[in-house]
Amino acid sequence: MSKRIYLDHAATTYTNKEVLNEMLPYFTEYFGNPSSVHQFGREVKKSIDVARDRVAKAIGALPEEIYFTAGGSEADNLAIKGVAYANKSKGNHIITTKIEHPAVLETCEQLEKEGFEVTFLDVDQYGVVSPEAVRNAIKDNTILISVMYANNEIGTIQPISEIAQIANEKKIYFHTDAVQAIGSIRINVKEQNIDMLSMASHKFYGPKGVGALYVRKGVKLISIIHGGSQERKRRAGTENVPGIIGIGKAIELAYQKFDENNARITMLRDKLIKGIMEKVPYTRLNGHPENRLPNNTNFCFEYIEGESLLLNLDMKGIAGSSGSACSSGSLEPSHVLLAIGLPHEIAHGSLRLSLGEVNTEEDIEYVLQVLPEIVDRLRQMSPLYEKVKGGK
């Protein structure tokens, strides 16, 4: 069989078998509507409560502070629009950053069109948001600050506790998109003063199409999907029961295996980074050298295009990404790479390899054998590279 190495866990993961097994009976045996009063409904409602407890426990929240959604994007939309619309009378200013996921960026851009004012903060060369910059951006009419926990493209982890502390002092709501952080970082929303937090099950070995938003008790937030009174009237629609069972199991497993998994994945990541930096000239590592997700690597290879590199890696069985699954297919370079100050032509040559539970040392060795050859071959076809070499 030909090799298949998946290094795109930041885009999505497979669903863990143990998680799937726990979900399966909820398609057939336990199919009742949790809002129904009969026993078919009641037994399902109980299982949803178990899932809610598991999600809450993993981040130090109360079960009644967890709202299930149809994924990370919906959780981000609910947090941002929900707070913006509910707190209009207090103010219309929102602070976020230039490196957020499109689910946050475009939601904020939509709110701008509706009359809200949004400050998109710059980041430094490693993609770090400075707490001081957050503090300086606060105005009398600021109602919400939204800063992602860890970046999905370059893996940089943000000083979330410091930023949340500032928001807390100023009595401004603080939301974090923690979609990439769950399972890779230990989080306690109470100790860290986080008012709202988004997660998506399919980024931590759960099923796709289910996520959750934590909303601290007392936060003023209105629903954005209207209809029934599910999720304490904050998210209408019959619950995705198997999905909810899945996210509950997946988050529990992620934190049970936390130390072991993250130590191993960090070791593989460092081996991959070291190998690539040593073997491939004219390469830069994007993101923070230390303060990054255990599973994230992101490189720019000068004089080549990310897309051709991806295709060539794919032919060798290696699945990577040019940065974000959401922006590939477009010719625009990544907004994150531009925000850390890379010029367009360099931002085009980026590669994200994101590791997961199944990856092995052999996988890394194979990448380190194949990738330098591909980069070299692509560079031989670049007229610019010829000039550089000639000039040496």
Ligand X SMILES: *Cc1c(COP(=O)(O)O)cnc(C)c1O
The set of catalytic residues is 326
Question: How far apart (Å, rounded) are the C-alpha atoms in residues 49 and 70?
Answer: 17
Q: Does 101 bind ligand X (CB under 6 A)?
A: yes
**According to the binding rule CB under 6 A, does residue 177 interact with ligand X?**
yes
Q: What is the CA radius of gyration of the chain?
A: 22
Which of the stretches 67-75, 159-167, 260-268, 332-340 binds ligand X when contact is defined by CB under 6 A?
67-75
Binder of ligand X out of 123, 145, 200, 215 (CB under 6 A): 200
Binding of residue 180 to ligand X (CB under 6 A): yes
Least Cβ distance, residue 316 to ligand X (angstroms)? 26
Q: Does 55 bind ligand X (CB under 6 A)?
A: no
Q: Which is nearer to ligand X, 103 or 374 (CB)?
A: 103
231 binds ligand X (CB under 6 A): no
Task: List the interface residues with ligand X, window 111-140 (CB under 6 A).
Answer: none
Under rule CB under 6 A, how many of the chain's residues touch ligand X? 14
Q: Which stretch binds ligand X (CB under 6 A): 72-80, 82-90, 251-259, 357-365?
A: 72-80
Q: Which of 9, 65, 72, 378 binds ligand X (CB under 6 A)?
A: 72
Contact track, ligand X, 279-318, x by CB under 6 A:
----------------------------------------
Closest approach of ligand X to the CB of residue 294, in Å: 15
Query: Which residue among 47, 48, 58, 71 contacts ligand X (CB under 6 A)?
Result: 71
201, 248 Cβ separation under 8 angstroms: no
207 in contact with ligand X (CB under 6 A): no
Q: Is 87 in the site for ligand X (CB under 6 A)?
A: no
Q: Which CB atom, from 103 or from 187, has the smaller least distance to ligand X?
A: 103
Binding of residue 211 to ligand X (CB under 6 A): yes
Least distance in angstroms from the C-beta of 332 to ligand X = 18
At 336, which amino acid appears? V
Of positions 152, 223, 261, 298, contacts ligand X by CB under 6 A: 152
Residue of 179, 253, 346, 355 interacting with ligand X (CB under 6 A): 179
293, 309 in Cβ contact below 8 A?
no
Between residues 87 and 180, which has the closer beta carbon with respect to ligand X? 180
How many other CB atoms sit within 10 Å of the CB of residue 258? 15
Q: What is the 3-state secondary structure (H, E, C) of the chain?
A: CCCCEECECCCCCCCCHHHHHHHCHHHHCCCCCCCCCCHHHHHHHHHHHHHHHHHHHHHCCCHHHEEEECCHHHHHHHHHHHHHHHCCCCCCEEEEECCCCHHHHHHHHHHHHCCCEEEEECCCCCCCCCHHHHHHHCCCCEEEEECCCECCCCCEECCHHHHHHHHHHCCCEEEEECCCCECCECCCCCCCCCCEEEEEHHHCCCCCCCEEEEECCCCCCCCCCCCCCHHHHCCCCCCCHHHHHHHHHHHHHHHHCHHHHHHHHHHHHHHHHHHHHHHCCCEEECCCCCCECCCEEEEEECCCCHHHHHHHHHHCCEECECCCCCCCCCCCCCHHHHHCCCCHHHHCCEEEEECCCCCCHHHHHHHHHHHHHHHHHHHHCCHHHHHHHHCC
We find the least distance from the C-beta atom of residue 112 to ligand X, in angstroms, to be 19
The Cα 43–Cα 105 span in angstroms is 39
Q: Is 103 a residue that touches ligand X (CB under 6 A)?
A: yes
d(CA 334, CA 303): 17
Residue 70 or 137: which CB sits closer to ligand X? 70
**Interface with ligand X by CB under 6 A: which range of 22-30, 135-143, 165-173, 174-182?**
174-182
Residue from 15, 16, 47, 73 binding ligand X (CB under 6 A): 73
The nearer residue to ligand X, 32 or 209, going by C-beta atoms, is 209
Angstrom distances, CA of residue 266 to CA of 45, 259, 365:
38, 11, 15
Which residue's Cβ has the minimum distance to ligand X? 72
Q: Least distance to ligand X from the beta carbon of 296, Å? A: 11
Shortest reach from residue 334's CB to ligand X, in Å: 13
Binding positions for ligand X, rule: CB under 6 A: 71-73, 76, 101, 103, 148, 152, 177, 179-180, 200, 203, 211
